[in-house]
Every structure is written in C-alpha cells, then in structure tokens.
Amino acid sequence: MASYTAISSISKKIAELMHKELVPELIPSEEYIGFAAPNERDSLMVGIFLYDIRESDEIKANQMSARDLSTMRFPPVYLNLYYMITAYAEGDILFRSLREEMILGKIIRYFHDNSIIMREEGNIPAKIELMKMSMEEKTKIWSFAGMPYKLSVFYKVSPVTIDSERIQKVTRVTSVDIRVVGGKQNIQEE
C-alpha cells in the first residue's frame, strides 16, 4: 500500500543512495548532500531538487480494487517525479569545476547501473532515468530561482504510486439460482 508519503520516500531513498555512493570518496560527510532549491543550498555540496510532479501518461489506473468483501477502493494515482541534482564544490575555479564533474559523473554512473529504486512501502519499484532536455528547458528551471544556470543532471522517477483512500461499499453476489421453466431460463441473483 502506497500512502501519501510515497513522494518523500523516493526523495529520501535517492539521498540515501547518493550518501552510499559519494561519501567519503567525493563528499566528506552525509550532511553535505540534501534537498534544496538552487537558491537555498547553504553549505550543500550536492543539492537534490524535486522541481516537478506530474500524473503519469504511461500508467493510468481505471479499475477499483477489492479492499474486503464489502468494500472497493478507487484506483491509485501514478506519478512521475522530476529531480534536478547539482554539485557544488569549493576552491579555485579549475579544481571546483573538475570536482563537480567527478561528482556528477559518479551519480550518472550509479543511476545508470542501478536504475531501479526499491522502497519500503508500495509494491511497485520505481525506475530512475536520465532525462534528455534542451539547454532552454534546463535554463528555465534555473531561472525561476533567479540564479544563473549551473551544470546539473535531470532525472525522472516513475511510477510513484499514491493509493486512494476513497472507498465504495458494494454488495457481492452470494448465490445464483438458475431455473428452466417451460423452455425459458429464469436467473435470480441474491
């Protein structure tokens, strides 16, 4: 069952995976990897920014599911999450740029090799994929924060499921009585 916490669960999982992959080789400690918009990064060396959430075009649920014998649950919503990951290094420009490129390269390699994200909640694994975006699209995402564009990687995570809490009471057919009388079939359901 996937609750309303599914989005934050995916974000936490992405951060945990980056902690495992980047610390201590490229990032001194886990506290330098976190969630922030580009204009709010403070001392982060890797900023994870969930910049958009959209309903999935690929998966649409339209059937209710049985919750128990007398209740049906309305279909879940399937979402696509869009993340921007940016590396920030300190030091002189040459060192800083090379360090940021190494961090981004390691992130790209990790998610390329491990493109399925397993979560504690829900039974559908999510796929993380590097997005193909134009420079114009990337610049638009940065411009809302009033910041100049900085090299970043953009990922789509899908599907992320949030179950509906809306239910409907139903009456199940418990018996069927079929009788043939004078060549005509008479069916009664109870």
Give the Å distances, CA to CA, from 45 to 6, 30, 55, 82, 175: 25, 10, 31, 20, 65
Q: What is the pTM (predicted TM-score) of this model?
A: 0.84
Per-residue pLDDT tens for 127-184? 999 999 999 999 998 887 788 899 999 999 999 999 888 877 777 777 777 777 666 6
Q: Is the dihedral of CA 84, 87, 92, 97 positive or negative?
A: negative
Give the Å distances, CA to CA, from 6 to 12, 85, 120, 121: 10, 20, 10, 7
User: What is the spatial distance between Cα 128 and Cα 137, in angstroms, rounded to a whole number?
Assistant: 19
What pLDDT, on a 0 to 100 scale, did the predictor assign at position 53? 98
CA 79, chain centre distance (Å)? 7
For the beta sheet containing 77-87, the strands, ordered from the edge strand earlier in sequence to the opposite edge, are 33-35, 46-55, 77-87, 152-162, 126-130, 116-117
Angle at 40 between CA 147 and CA 155, to 5 degrees: 75
User: What is the spatial distance between Cα 176 and Cα 188, in angstroms, rounded to a whole number?
Assistant: 6
**With 80 as the cut, is the pLDDT of residue 187 above it?**
no
What pLDDT, on a 0 to 100 scale, did the predictor assign at position 179? 72
What pLDDT, on a 0 to 100 scale, did the predictor assign at position 89? 92
What pLDDT, on a 0 to 100 scale, did the predictor assign at position 105? 98
